[in-house]
């Protein structure tokens, strides 16, 4: 429904606005001398009540449809079309607009008005939901009979085990303001149930997770990356192994939303890191139906299945992960990796790159199992103090990776099944070969962490890495 | 903010209102719990139920709440959930 604009003058006012009170005595004069006058009052049935054209706009629908930002607002309508408006009290404007040339002789020249009630926090979103163009498609669940909405969310199975924020329509609308994408746009088919996941469902789960609206572009990019065939989310959800999506964020978007790439980057305490990763997990759970014990068959899982998301601490002397993977400098991107937990590398003695690289290589052998090779990929998270050892010696990330690839070649005879008295191992046919630990491109290197500590970390990938299972996927963050 | 209405975060493949568990088609082979909420003469009702179930060869376990004025203690609820397939309780006196 559109409010039909009545010809003549329209005044929108608030009784508790002093400027509206100042102009109130003039309204009878306007009504008598300037043609039909309609007065919409936002907060009271008492203001200008004696005038025939006064209407208490209790639902604020008229004010909303007129797009009122300030009170008083004076509008002239001709032939059902607005031709002019002014707001606050400006004597000259009111006189010119109304045609009453001696209006308000005794009043000051100018008084600013007040903000419209339609723009008050909470009210603006309710009005947009009631009268705006937005149409949310998700069904509403009635919580009026429950005494605690937080408990009701648990009971409905929407939680990962921690409290979630009840996704009221107002909160979801605010979340949707974080993206320019339409609520009904389908981001992709969400495994394991393969149901279309709309931007609106993403927003609802982002509310549950505790996201701010400004995180939406990062979350949407992460979801898009997760839904590629290359990433293979379906298998990753269902596996008995440990892995789950890890989100690594690069570029200005990470700084803009306040993500942590520094002290405790892989840990708790930063809202963006915690809730972006959590929102993706809740989408898997709620939209995709990927719940542990049902289709998620993880033997042990890992704590990152609550949330695993951090930003790279980009350094001008080391190429950021996103740029290594084809993203233009200055752009933001997410890289999804099928990550397990965090394994620390403690090396407080190496001060030259050769020693530290050998140290990293030895530790990286433990990915999956020291006797397995070309199974799981890995992310090597190099702390700033360790990175400094390489950078000072002129080693780029690429140089470090090449050295590690070389150092991680191992004689097949030491890795084959049965070698070392351990039945686990690679097939016998490799016994006379030098075997690389990782498949080509299977080792990712990022810089993150606090500036104190000669510690780095390994995040092992899914043992079914590569085309057989899951590969890391990078997607640019848009709006 | 009104928290009485929320938007469904799921794929909406289950009904908005959760259905009750289906009634069992038979009690055969089931362990039946009888919960006395400690209202007067609840035991009379439950004794008779036990008698009839026992005659059908059904295994019965008896429980009692300390008082009808309070909800059952958590430990009692957990024990009943772990030990029986069905529960019958006598509500009024």
Q: Which residues of A touch B2 (CB under 8 A)?
A: 168, 170
Asked if A353 and A395 touch (Cβ cutoff 8 Å), the reply is yes
Q: Identify whether the C-beta of residue A133 lies closer than 8 Å to the C-beta of residue A64.
A: no
Q: Which residues from B are below 8 Å from A193, CB to CB?
A: 11, 13
Q: In angstroms, rounded to a whole number, what is the distance separating the alpha carbons of residues A247 and A270? A: 14
Q: Average pLDDT of chain A?
A: 96
B19 close contact with A: CB closer than 8 A: no
B82–A contact, CB cutoff 8 A: no
Contact B6 A289 (CB under 8 A): no
Q: Which of B9, B13, B16 sits opposite A204 (nearest CB)?
A: B9
Cα distances (Å, whole numbers) of residue A60 to A72, A128, A256, A290, A456: 14, 11, 35, 43, 58
User: Can you say whether the dihedral through the CA atoms of B13, B18, B19, B20 is positive or negative?
Assistant: positive
Q: How far is CA A360 from the centre of its chain?
A: 33
Element (H, E) at A281: helix A271-286
Chain B residues with beta carbon closer than 8 angstroms to that of A208: 9
- Chain A residues inside the 8 Å CB shell of B16: 139, 141
Check: CB of residue B30 under 8 Å from CB of residue B24: yes
| Phi, psi dihedral angles at A456 (to 5 degrees) | -125, -175
Among residues A362, A363, A359, A364, the alpha carbon closest in space to that of A390 is found at A359
Instruction: Give the confidence band of B17 by pLDDT, cuts at 50, 70, 90.
Output: confident
pLDDT digits (tens, 9 = 90+) for A95-149: 999 999 999 999 999 999 999 999 988 899 999 999 999 889 999 999 988 889 9
**Residue B2: pLDDT band with limits 50, 70, 90:** confident
Q: Which residue of B has its CA nearest to A204?
A: B9
The pLDDT value given to residue B7:
95
User: What are the pLDDT digits (tens) for A434-455?
Assistant: 999 999 999 999 999 999 999 9
pLDDT at position A1 over 50 = no
Read off the pLDDT band of B20 (50, 70, 90).
confident
Query: Rounded to 5, what percent of chain B is helix, strand, coil?
Result: 25, 20, 55
pLDDT at residue B93 tops 80: no
CB contact under 8 A, A142 and B5: yes
Q: What is the pLDDT of residue A110?
A: 95
Look at residue A447 and give its three-state secondary structure.
Answer: strand
Topology of the domain covering A8-131 = Glutaredoxin (3.40.30)
Question: A201: distance to nearest CA of chain B, Å?
Answer: 6
DSSP string, A221-269: HHHHHHTSTTTTHHHHHH-SSS-EEEEEEESHHHHHTT---STTTTSS-
Domain count, chain B: 1
pTM listed for this prediction: 0.86
Predicted pLDDT at A3:
53
ipTM of the complex: 0.81
Q: Does residue A342 have a pLDDT over 60? A: yes
pLDDT at A177: 95
The full set of domain ranges for chain A reads: 8-131, 150-476
Cα dist. A324→A27, A314, A319, A331, B87 in Å?
68, 12, 6, 13, 62
Whether B24 maps to a domain, the answer reads no
| pLDDT (average), residues A331-338 | 98
A43-61 residue pLDDT tens:
999 999 999 999 999 999 9
| B35 within a domain of the structure (yes/no) | yes
Q: Where are the beta strands (DSSP E) in A88-152?
A: 89-90, 110-111, 114-115, 140-142
Compare CB distances from B8 to A139, A144, A193 and report the shortest one's residue.
A139
Check CB contact under 8 Å for B1 and A288.
no
For residue B50, give its domain range.
31-90
Cβ contact A168–B9 (<8 Å): no
**Which residue is closest to B11 within chain A, CA to CA?**
A287
Residues of A in contact with B13 (CB under 8 A): 193, 195, 289
Going by C-alpha positions, the residue among A229, A345, A227 that lies closest to residue A280 is A227
Q: Which of A121, A201, A219 to mutate to test the interface with B (most CBs of B within 10 A)?
A: A201
Which phi and psi (to 5°) does residue A243 adopt?
-65, 160
Q: Tell me if B8 is assigned to some domain.
A: no
> How far is the first Cα of chain A from the last one, in angstroms, to the nearest whole number?
31
β-pairing, B31-36 vs B59-64, is: parallel
Pairing type for strands B31-36 and B86-90 reads parallel
3-state secondary structure at position A116: coil
Tell me what the mean pLDDT of segment B22-38 comes to: 91
Task: Indicate the pLDDT class of residue A2, thresholds 50, 70 and 90.
Answer: low
Q: What is the DSSP string of A398-445?
A: HHHHHHHHHHT-EEHHHHBTTGGG-S--B-GGGTTSEE-SS-TT-EEE
Question: Measured between CB atoms, does A287 come within 8 Å of chain B?
Answer: yes
Closest residue by Cα to residue A387 from A343, A445, A339, A342: A445
More confident residue, B68 or A227: A227
Contact B11 A195 (CB under 8 A): yes
Taking CB atoms and an 8 Å cut-off, how many pairs form between chains A and B?
74
The 10s digit of each residue's pLDDT in A259-296 is 999 999 999 999 999 999 999 999 999 999 999 999 99
H or E element in which residue B62 lies:
strand B59-64
Residues in chain A within 8 Å Cβ distance of B18:
156
Q: Find the mean pLDDT for residues A342-357.
A: 98
Chain A residues near residue B3 by CB distance under 8 angstroms: 143, 149, 166, 168
Q: What percent of chain B has pLDDT over 90?
A: 57
Cβ partners under 8 Å of residue A331, min gap 6: A251, A322, A476, A477
Contact B16 A139 (CB under 8 A): yes
* Lowest mean per-residue pLDDT among A145-149, A244-248, A311-315, B65-69: B65-69
**Residue A312: which residues within 8 A CB-CB, separation 6 or more?**
A248, A249, A250, A254, A261, A320, A321, A322, A446, A447, A448
To 5 degrees, how large is the angle CA A147–CA A152–CA A153? 145
Please name the member of A143, A166, A287 whose beta carbon is closest to the beta carbon of B10: A287
Which residue, A251, A169, A168, A244, is CA-closest to A217? A251
Q: How far apart are CA A265 and CA A89, in angstroms?
A: 54
Count of CB atoms within 10 A of residue A237's CB? Answer: 25
| Residue B13 at interface with chain A, using a CB cutoff of 8 Å | yes
């Amino acid at each position: 429904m559109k409010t039909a604009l009545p010809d003549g003058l329209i005044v929108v006012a608030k009784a508790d606005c002093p400027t509206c009170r100042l102009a109130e005595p003039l309204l009878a004069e306007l009504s008598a001398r300037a043609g039909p006058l309609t007065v919409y009052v936002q907060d009271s049935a008492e203001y200008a009540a004696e005038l025939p054209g006064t209407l208490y706009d209790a639902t604020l629908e008229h004010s909303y449809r007129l797009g009122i930002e300030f009170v008083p607002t004076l509008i002239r309508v001709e032939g059902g079309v607005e031709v002019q408006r002014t707001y606050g009290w400006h004597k000259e404007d009111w006189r010119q607009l109304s045609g009453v040339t001696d209006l308000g002789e005794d009043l000051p020249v100018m008084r600013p008005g007040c903000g419209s009630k339609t723009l008050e926090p909470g009210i603006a979103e309710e009005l947009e939901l009631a009268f705006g163009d937005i149409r949310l498609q998700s069904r509403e669940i009635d919580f009026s009979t429950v005494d605690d909405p937080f408990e009701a969310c648990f009971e409905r199975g929407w939680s990962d085990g921690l409290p979630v924020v009840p996704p009221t329509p107002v909160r979801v609308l605010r979340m949707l303001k974080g993206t320019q994408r339409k609520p009904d746009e389908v981001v992709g088919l969400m495994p394991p149930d393969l149901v279309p996941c709309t931007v609106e469902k993403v927003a609802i789960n982002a509310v549950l997770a505790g996201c701010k609206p400004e995180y939406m572009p990062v979350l949407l990019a992460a979801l898009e990356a997760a839904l590629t065939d290359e990433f293979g989310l379906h298998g990753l959800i269902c596996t008995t192994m440990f892995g789950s999506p890890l989100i690594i964020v690069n570029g200005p978007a990470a700084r803009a939303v306040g993500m942590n790439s520094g002290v405790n980057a892989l840990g708790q305490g930063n809202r963006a890191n915690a809730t972006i990763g959590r929102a993706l997990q809740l989408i898997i759970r709620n939209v995709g139906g990927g719940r542990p014990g049902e289709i998620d068959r993880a033997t042990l899982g890992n704590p990152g299945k609550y949330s695993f998301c951090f930003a790279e601490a980009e350094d001008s002397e080391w190429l950021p992960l996103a740029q290594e993977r084809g993203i233009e400098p200055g752009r933001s991107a997410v890289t999804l990796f099928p990550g397990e937990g965090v394994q620390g590398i403690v090396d407080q003695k190496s001060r030259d790159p050769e020693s530290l690289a050998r140290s990293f290589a030895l530790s990286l052998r433990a990915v999956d199992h020291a006797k397995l090779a070309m199974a799981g990929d890995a992310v090597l998270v190099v702390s700033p103090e360790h990175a400094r050892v390489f950078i000072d010696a002129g080693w780029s990330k690429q140089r470090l990776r090449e050295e590690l690839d070389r150092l991680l070649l191992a004689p097949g005879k030491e890795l084959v099944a049965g070698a070392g008295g351990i039945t686990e191992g690679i097939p016998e046919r490799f016994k006379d070969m030098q075997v690389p630990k990782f498949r080509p491109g299977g080792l990712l290197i990022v810089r993150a962490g606090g500036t104190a500590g000669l510690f780095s970390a390994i995040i092992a990938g899914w043992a079914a890495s590569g085309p057989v299972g899951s590969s890391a996927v990078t997607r640019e963050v848009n709006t | 903010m009104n928290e009485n209405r929320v938007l469904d975060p799921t794929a909406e493949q289950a009904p908005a209102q959760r259905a009750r568990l289906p009634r069992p088609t038979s009690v055969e082979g089931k362990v039946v719990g009888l919960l006395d909420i400690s209202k007067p003469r609840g035991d009379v009702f439950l004794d008779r139920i036990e008698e009839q179930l026992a005659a059908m060869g059904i295994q019965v376990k008896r429980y009692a709440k300390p008082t009808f004025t309070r909800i059952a203690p958590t430990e009692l609820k957990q024990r009943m959930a772990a030990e029986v397939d069905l529960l019958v309780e006598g509500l009024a006196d």
